[in-house]
Amino acid sequence: MFQAALSAVILSFAVQALAPPARANIAATPWTEVHTARVRLVASRTRAANGHYLAGLEIVMADGWKTYWRMPGDAGVPPTFDWAGSANMAATTVLYPAPIRMPEAGGVAVGYKQSVLLPIAVTPQDPSKPVVLKLALEFGVCREICIPATANLDLSIPVATMGAPAPEIAAAIERVPRPQQSRRKSDPDLRGVSVSRDGSSPKLTIEAAFSDDAGTADVFIEAPEGLYVPMAKRVAADAGVVRFETDLGADLAQDLKGKTLTLTLVSQAGATEAQWTLP
């Protein structure tokens, strides 16, 4: 999964995100109103030691409305980003803060309520020149039903010296799940994953330790190649270790053999991301 490639990006910015942000400021597009939401692009007027700039997509929704994570759950529309027309941009990487589970009439969605800022690592082609971002955004906003939404946003990032990211972006980075191998003490700790093929339906079991469970610990499962793993259910907890299970079904279990799942463990104290390959 793509998150493995993001580990270096997250860790690079995590150190600077903890630095004093007093000198950092932010550039932003005007808000674009879309249905019951408004969106804008923002960017720090500083760059990281690795040469990346930090931008972000900010979405603010009306009370009772929500938008979706990169894996939207049983229903929903994940955001898509088209950067065609951007200038002096070699690559962009969108980072996703830890989501929440959102029950709906047709199942369970995964995403955000009220507001979210998605950090975006921007790699310039030529660090000595400004970067111009042109974004054609597609995303969903939902109350009882999901409404597809679009917006076109343009933002120029001037040439900048190294420094801490703008506070708004730094705060969003802190909520991005950290790789299991780089987790903090308060972040969830993946303890084990297994597949049981006993009975008529293979079952995936995930065990993880949470420092502040309080009944809110959760896990989200992503599979490659368009495969969808049903939402895991919490089935037991003992001394901070929580067990989740989901039925795969014979066909899905066969399709997942040898493939790597991305597991996102979420708690109030932090979030962790890990990979596990089905035998």
DSSP readout, 56-103? EEEEEE-TT-EEEEEEEETS----EEE-TT-BSEEEEEE-----EEEE
Domains parsed from the chain with CATH numbers: 3-176 (2.60.40), 179-277 (2.60.40.10)
pLDDT in tens, 85-105: 999 999 999 999 999 999 887
pLDDT exceeds cutoff 90 at 8: no
pTM for the full predicted model: 0.90
pLDDT exceeds cutoff 90 at 219: yes
